Structure formats: C-alpha cells, structure tokens
Amino acid sequence: MTSRAVIRPYRPEDRDAVYDICVRTGHEGGDARHLYPDALELLPDIFAGPYATLEPGLAFVVDDGGGRAVGYIVGAADTAVFAARFREEWLPKVEHRYPRPVDDPRTPTEEMIGLLHNPERMIVPELAGYPAHLHIDLLPEYQRAGHGRELMRTLLDALARGGVPAVHLGMVTANTAARAFYDRVGFHEIAVPDPGPLTYLGREPFQKVGAAV
C-alpha cells in the first residue's frame, strides 16, 4: 500500500485531503469527527490551513503515488511572526464561521474556537530558543512505514537551509505513540510551567533524524 508513496511539496489541490487527515488524526492521533460534528473544518483551520497558506515553503505531504495526500507536515520558521500573521491575515478569512464564545467554553468545539481566536497562545517564553514550530499527521494505514521520519527530515532540512536554529512542537501528553515517535527522531522535552494537557518538545534541525517511523 505504501511502497509507491513519496514526499513532495504541498500543492493547493491537496487542501481537502490535508484537512481530512487533520480531522481523522486530531484526537490523540485518532479520529476527531465525533468531537466536532458541527465544525469539521475547525481543527484544520487552526492547525493545517494557515500553515499551508502563510508558509507554503514549509508544507510537505506524503503522496500515495496517485496524487492523493495521505500525510503532511507543516511548520512556521518564526513562531512570533507566524502568530502575528495568523491574526492579521488568516483569522479574518475564517472567523465569520467561528464566532468567539461569549462564555467559558462548554464543548470541544468552543474550546477550539477559543484557540483559533488566540494565536498569541503560541508564544511561550520558555520556547524562545526554539523559534520554529511544526505539526505532523499521517493516516493510520501509512504510519510505521518510514513516512513520518521522511516528512520530518524534509521539514528539518528546509528549516536548516533557512538558518533556523531550533524547532519545537506541542503534543497532547496522553498521546504516548506520538511521544515515542518524537523521541526516536531526536526531540527532547522542554520544561514549561503549567503546560496544561500538552508536553513541549524541541530539537535542532541539523541533527540527524533517527529510526524509521
């Protein structure tokens, strides 16, 4: 199934496939459609679409060999700059679909809408030494075949060519499979006070990416 799959740059026609992947892997690595039945594009409008739009040079997909994206990695070279562009350029494109809740969030959808309207949450002082950040997702049937490692290597190489000194990511702590992958490809934990449900990890782009995943 995966023998013909290749890594290539993201193309605009990959948009629907990337959005679908984001949703199908958006709940601790599993399907998130049941959590956001009234807003199926909400997760990718936060964690995929803005990256592909604002930093297309740092967006790559796993192509199944027939032109369909089955996995992707996206990144931002400078998190503070990206957060500002998210507010100024991306949020006006989508906020009409997701009005800001007036009360404390009561549903998963309202919690995510709160994140959408607060891109400054990405700026964490303890991560200043890791200015870039990334998101990576693969459909389950394309995992454990080395595609995650190749996606990571491709993005890290692009960051290194751009002179980016280090990159971070935030992962749901309960997602132990994801943590095992990040450990294998050279990430280490970064101490952040009161991180909530997340664990922050970082690494330097020029390091060799580790074992196949």
Residue 20 contacts residue 32 (beta carbons within 8 Å):
no
Structure confidence at residue 2 (pLDDT): 44
Structure confidence at residue 3 (pLDDT): 55
Residue at 195 is within a domain: no
Residue at 172 is within a domain: no
Residue 39 contacts residue 109 (beta carbons within 8 Å):
yes
10-residue block means of pLDDT along the chain (213 residues)?
80 98 91 88 97 98 96 98 98 95 88 96 97 97 93 96 96 93 96 94 82 45
Domain count, the chain: 1
* AA letter at 49: G
Domain enclosing residue 91, as ranges: 6-156
HSE-CB for 61 with a 13 A CA cutoff: 27
Tell which phi-psi region holds residue 65, choosing left (phi > 0), alpha (psi between -120 and 50) or beta: left
Whether the model clears a pTM of 0.85, i.e. scores above it, the answer is yes
Structure confidence at residue 103 (pLDDT): 84
Residue at 212 is within a domain: no
CATH number of the domain where residue 20 is located = 3.40.630.30
Structure confidence at residue 37 (pLDDT): 82
Structure confidence at residue 4 (pLDDT): 86
